[in-house]
Amino acid sequence: MYKDLMTSRRFAPLFWCQFCSALNDNFLKNALGMLILFGLGSAGSVYGEKGNMLVALATVVFIAPFFILSALGGELADRFDKGYVAARIKLAEIPVAALAAVGFFLHSVEILFVTLALFGVMAALFGPVKYGILPEKLQTAELPAGNALVEGATFLAILIGTIAGGIAVKTARSPELVVGIILALAVVSWVFARSIPGAGPAAPGLAITANPWTSTIALLRDLKREPRLWSGAAIVSWFWVVGSAALSLLPPLVKDYIGGNEDVVTLCLATFVVGIAAGSALAAQASHGKPNLTLVPLGAALIAAFSLAVAGIAGLLPRPTASIGPLAVLGSGAGLALLASLCGLAVAGGLFIVPAFAAVQMWAPQDARARVIAAVNVINAAWMVAAGALIAVLQAVGVGLATLFALLGVMSIGVLFYVMRAWRVGLPGLADKAPGEA
């Protein structure tokens, strides 16, 4: 099925369009972070102690537009043909990429922050298109596989963008390389968007709300009227909370608990991405004809187990006295155990998210599907920001990384029971029934 999807015009242009777009977002964000911390070509930072704060602020700047503009993106995607909307959004990204070029040539962090915010605007508008178009182009039986490919590609883009953005700024003597990559990815993404086949508007008579904040509140209110979609938004959001928390805690965990250098961080990130892809593929294979909802509580249970495993390993390790590389980590029992636990956590995440999100897509009304996805994106962003703020506060008061992973594990047990109750899966006699069935 994967080969058929990747060679089909129904799916391949959308896949490569969103992959290049996600890669560009993460490349720019991490290139900006390296520029703030180290300067171009390791020339040295001019921001001193403010550097870490500015790097953290970059993530907030990128996510903030999702709160306000996801609803507008959902309305546009339902009102017009989604392929048409995708092409227009990606065309608008090209001048934004040109502005990023100006920022890098001038070494202007201020301009680059504006650019990052604009990329966040484009991502917020594109999200409902990206996920709302899948049920239009794919059969129900193909949705898990399509979502598995998109989710795996998203995390692969995060990994490649993180690594490439850092390397490009660290090694470049001038900004041409960085600028060339950003402009090329923007153009290629637009080219693929133009190749997405049209299907006509889902709701041609829909009126676009002039006030994005009003439409956001209205979308959330409408979503809450549908219990299984409202619970689905919360369930999907938990995956992004765990993923964002794990990725943010991973570098200090590697540095402070096993003494790993930058290459070890990259190894752990790669392990996490491979695990997400493997779990997503397993979930797609286990879904025959419709999303296999029994995988969602199983995924939550495994997320809990492997989060607690990471916490246990970290809590038992003696503090390192020297920096070590990947070979040393792979040669130690503790290092292998930590890698295996991280991989298991990522596999569990893939098992959890693919059927959960495919179910939300399938249950959403056809003429409002993009707006449902938009509302889910708003909730995702809210949960991620709230979780990030909570983690920052807990770290500020001295809570250790092992305790934070343990907290993720305990809360995932709560999510397990929430899934079983809200979607009525994993309970005796109800395992094969969709939410809302008698």
pLDDT 10s digits, 146-203: 888 887 888 788 878 877 876 777 676 677 888 899 999 999 999 999 998 887 888 8
Query: In terms of domains, do 90 and 3 share one?
Result: yes
Domain boundary among 129, 164, 195: 195
Domain boundary among 195, 225, 240: 195
Where on the phi/psi map is residue 38: left (φ > 0), alpha (ψ -120 to 50), or beta?
A: alpha
pLDDT at site 412: 96
Query: In terms of domains, do 238 and 105 share one?
Result: no
Spatial distance between the Cα atoms of 420 and 127, rounded to a whole number of angstroms: 28
Q: For the chain, what is the mean pLDDT?
A: 84
Query: In terms of domains, do 270 and 184 share one?
Result: no
Q: What percent of the chain stands above pLDDT 90?
A: 29
Residue 261 has pLDDT above 80, yes or no: no
Query: For the ranges 34-48, 56-70, 96-110, 417-431, which has the lowest average pLDDT?
Result: 34-48
Spatial distance between the Cα atoms of 30 and 106, rounded to a whole number of angstroms: 18
Query: In terms of domains, do 253 and 144 share one?
Result: no
Residue 239 has pLDDT above 90, yes or no: yes
Is 66 within the bounds of a domain? yes
- For 17, half-sphere exposure in the C-beta direction (CA atoms, 13 angstrom radius) is 31
Is 104 within the bounds of a domain? yes
Instruction: Read off the pLDDT of each residue in 254-271 and give the average, rounded to a whole number.
Output: 81
Residue 265 has pLDDT above 90, yes or no: no
Query: In terms of domains, do 151 and 299 share one?
Result: no
Closest CA to 93 of 113, 116, 61, 68: 116
Instruction: Read off the pLDDT of each residue in 27-53 and give the average, rounded to a whole number.
Output: 65
pLDDT at site 137: 81
Spatial distance between the Cα atoms of 425 and 300, rounded to a whole number of angstroms: 12
307-353 per-position pLDDT tens digit = 999 999 988 877 776 778 889 888 888 889 989 999 999 999 999 99
Query: In terms of domains, do 161 and 102 share one?
Result: yes
CA R_g for the chain: 21
Domain boundary among 173, 195, 217: 195
Query: In terms of domains, do 251 and 188 share one?
Result: no
Is 200 within the bounds of a domain? no
Query: In terms of domains, do 101 and 13 share one?
Result: yes
Q: Collect all residues with Cβ–Cβ distance below 8 Å to 258 and sequence separation of at least 6.
A: 264, 317, 320, 324, 329, 334, 335, 338
pLDDT at site 430: 41
Q: What percent of the chain stands above pLDDT 70?
A: 91
Q: Are 238 and 383 in contact (CB under 8 A)?
A: yes
Query: In terms of domains, do 152 and 228 share one?
Result: no
Residue 434 has pLDDT above 60, yes or no: no
> Hey, which residues does 324 pair with through a beta bridge?
260
Q: Which residues span the domain enclosing 403?
A: 209-438
Is 202 within the bounds of a domain? no
Residue 302 has pLDDT above 80, yes or no: yes
Query: In terms of domains, do 413 and 270 share one?
Result: yes
Between 56 and 323, residue with greater pLDDT? 323
pLDDT tier for residue 32 given thresholds of 50, 70 and 90: confident
Between 287 and 8, residue with greater pLDDT? 8
Q: Which domain CATH number covers 87?
A: 1.20.1250.20
Spatial distance between the Cα atoms of 400 and 124, rounded to a whole number of angstroms: 33
Q: Provide the number of structural domains found in the chain.
A: 2
Q: What does the block give as tokens for 46?
A: 């001019």
372-423 per-position pLDDT tens digit = 888 998 999 889 888 888 887 888 788 888 999 999 999 999 999 999 998 8
pLDDT at site 437: 45
Query: In terms of domains, do 232 and 273 share one?
Result: yes
Residue 205 has pLDDT above 90, yes or no: no
Query: In terms of domains, do 380 and 240 share one?
Result: yes
Instruction: Read off the pLDDT of each residue in 231-235 and give the average, rounded to a whole number.
Output: 94
Is 227 within the bounds of a domain? yes
Instruction: Read off the pLDDT of each residue in 285-293 and give the average, rounded to a whole number.
Output: 80
